[in-house]
Each structure stands twice: as C-alpha cells, then as structure tokens.
Amino acid sequence: MVFAYIANLLALAGIYGIVGISLNVAFGYTGLANLGHAALFGIGAYVSALLALSLGLPFWAALLVAGLFAAFIGWLLAWPTARLRGDYLALATLGFGFIVESVFKNWMDVTRGPLGIPGIPKPELFGFVFASTESYLLVVAFFLAITYFVVKRVVDSPFGRVLKAIREDELAAQSLGKHTHRYKALALALSGFFAGIAGSLFAHYITFIDPSSFTIFETILAFSIVIIGGMGSVEGALIGAALLTFLPEPLRFIGFPSAIIGPARQLIYAGLLIAIILKRPEGIRGEYAFGLGEKHAKSKQA
C-alpha cells in the first residue's frame, strides 16, 4: 500500500520530469518561451490513446507515433518563431495552446470533448501487462532514462551549443553563419517529441484523458518545473518535477479536505515559482538566469 502510493508519485514525477526536460530543450536551452507546451503533451496523449483504442495499435507503437506527431506539430510551431520573438512569440504559442485545447473540447466525433476518453489500455510486452503502479513505474523509468540520455547528448553536442548561442544572442549566432531558424525548428521538434512521449505515458497510466489535463495551467506547471529546477539543466528539470510532485503531499496527511488540497497545491507551486524568480532566478541547479547569461549565474555561485 505504502509502496504503491510512493510508486504512483514517482511515476507522476517521472512523467512530469520528461515534460520538464522537453520544455527545457525549447525554453531553457534555446530561449523559446513556448506557452503551448501542454498542447504538445496533450497531442501526444490523444494521439496515443486514439491509436491504441481505435486501431488497436500496441502501446509501444502508439507512443512512438504520438512522439513523432507531436514533434511534427512542434516543428510547425517553429514557423511563427521565424518571424516573432519575445512577447509576440509568447502570445502566438499561447494562442496555439488554446486552439488545441479548443479542438480537444469541441471535436466531439474524435476526442469526445469534455467527456474524455476512458479505458486506455495499459502497456503489454510478451504477454506481460504493466497494470500495477509498480510495474508501470518501470515503463516510465525506461522512457525517462532514454529522454535523459538523448537530451543530455544533444545539448552537450555542437548542435546544443548553437541552441544556447541562439538563447544568448541570436544575431551573433546568425553572424557566425548559423541558420538559426532551422535550429529553432529542430529544437521545437525535439521538445515536441519528448512532450508527446510524456503525453502517451500519461494517457496509458491514468487510462483516462480529458481536455482539463492539457491547459495553460499545465504549461505553467511545466515552466515552474524548469524554472525551479534551473533553466538549461536536465537534472534541474528532474529535481523540479520531483519537488513539485512531492512537496504538496504532506497536505494530504494533515487531513485537509480535498476541496482545500487542490487550490493549496496550486498556491504552493505558484508561490514557489514567484519566490525562485525573485530570490534565485537561476533555479536550484541552473547555470543560466533569465537573460543574464551563464556568466552571471556562475559568478554568483562562486
């Protein structure tokens, strides 16, 4: 019982960890404040659930297609990033997020709107069904490890250095002959790919999805994970996800009614987000603080 409870929190922390790492690729490393990130997560969840339910695709294939589809949408999102930056990019991606949410809510024939999609199957491998929380934790851990190593590889590569250069000074990166738009498109595609995988893991874990899990508030939760953990740090996103998953849990034991736990949870993560931005903008593990460059954060730590 206790182990299942902890396994459940770990599984959720793992899924949000992937969400955080994927947002970090776009926001923490490349400086693209994609306010539609939860939409990519949601697209992954819906694509995977629908493929598994209507075409009977096995989980593993559905997950891969969900990731690829979300990557494609992320790549399409790069179109506005070619023309817009800063606030305008935030506005455009915010609008994108709401339009996707609107589609989830209103395309009744496919998504069943606010009724949601129940009965999403659990993963299966050689006849073994990952039905228990503990076994699902293994699935999450497997994909979290893949995400971690792939993203780590990418951001430490020359490609990753160009992303950071775009974040610091796009014009300078262009003057060095980098096609920054192409890099931003690839960053958003990679970000979308892992967000889509996280969405698929979420859908097959909870086994029920509806539009309320993919709103702007989930996007801000993802930003909180990245900012609290530290922008531009893969480990930071993991720490942030674990912190935000476990921190509100004591409320449950104090015995608050659930009507209070919901808003109190939001209060905690919003308060934490505000406090971190004010007092430690580089986050717990970050090497980078909002527009101040890596040097600033490092000299402050020294």
Partner 1 sequence: MALEQLIVNGLIAGAIYALMASGFSLVYNVLKFLHVAHGAIYVVGAFAGWWLARVVGVPLPAAIVGALVLSIIAGVLVDFVAYRPIRKKGEAALLMISFGVFIFVQSLVLLFFGADVKSYGLPIERGLDVAGAIITPLQISLIAISLVTMAALHVFLKFTKAGKAIRAVADDAEVARVVGISPERTILVTFILSSLLAGVAGVLVGMEQNIEHAMGLSAVISALTAAVIGGIGNVPAAVPGGFLLGIVENVGIFWLPSGWKAGISFALLIIFLFFRPKGLFGGKTRTV
Chain residues in the site for partner 1 (CB under 8 A): 31, 33, 80, 83-88, 90-92, 94-96, 98-99, 102-103, 105-106, 113, 216-217, 220, 223-224, 227, 259-260, 262-264, 266-267, 269-271, 273-274, 277-278, 281, 289-292
CB 72 within 8 A of CB 243: no
**Complex with partner 1: residue 10 or 23, whichever CB lies closer:** 23
Q: Provide the residue type at 2 as one letter.
A: V
**Complex with partner 1: residue 153 or 182, whichever CB lies closer:** 182
**Complex with partner 1: residue 134 or 294, whichever CB lies closer:** 294
Closest distance to partner 1 from the beta carbon of 55 (Å): 27
Closest distance to partner 1 from the beta carbon of 80 (Å): 7
Closest distance to partner 1 from the beta carbon of 31 (Å): 8
Q: Which residues have a Cβ under 8 Å from the Cβ of 212 and sit 6 or more positions away? A: 114
**Complex with partner 1: residue 85 or 178, whichever CB lies closer:** 85
**Complex with partner 1: residue 68 or 277, whichever CB lies closer:** 277
Cα 67-147-186 angle, rounded to 5 deg: 60
Residue 300 phi/psi, 5-degree rounding, is -70, -35
Closest distance to partner 1 from the beta carbon of 143 (Å): 27
CB 122 within 8 A of CB 140: no
**Complex with partner 1: residue 83 or 153, whichever CB lies closer:** 83
Closest distance to partner 1 from the beta carbon of 290 (Å): 4
Tokens of residue 218, six digits: 């989930």
Closest distance to partner 1 from the beta carbon of 115 (Å): 13
The torsion region of residue 108 among left (phi > 0), alpha (psi -120 to 50) and beta comes to alpha
Long-range contact pairs involving 95-99 (C-beta distance under 8 Å, separation at least 24): 95/36, 96/36, 96/39, 97/35, 97/36, 97/37, 97/38, 97/39, 97/216, 97/219, 98/216
Closest distance to partner 1 from the beta carbon of 113 (Å): 8
What three-state secondary structure class fits 209? strand
**Complex with partner 1: residue 141 or 176, whichever CB lies closer:** 176
- Angstrom distance (rounded) from CA 70 to CA 150: 17
Q: How many residues does the chain have?
A: 302
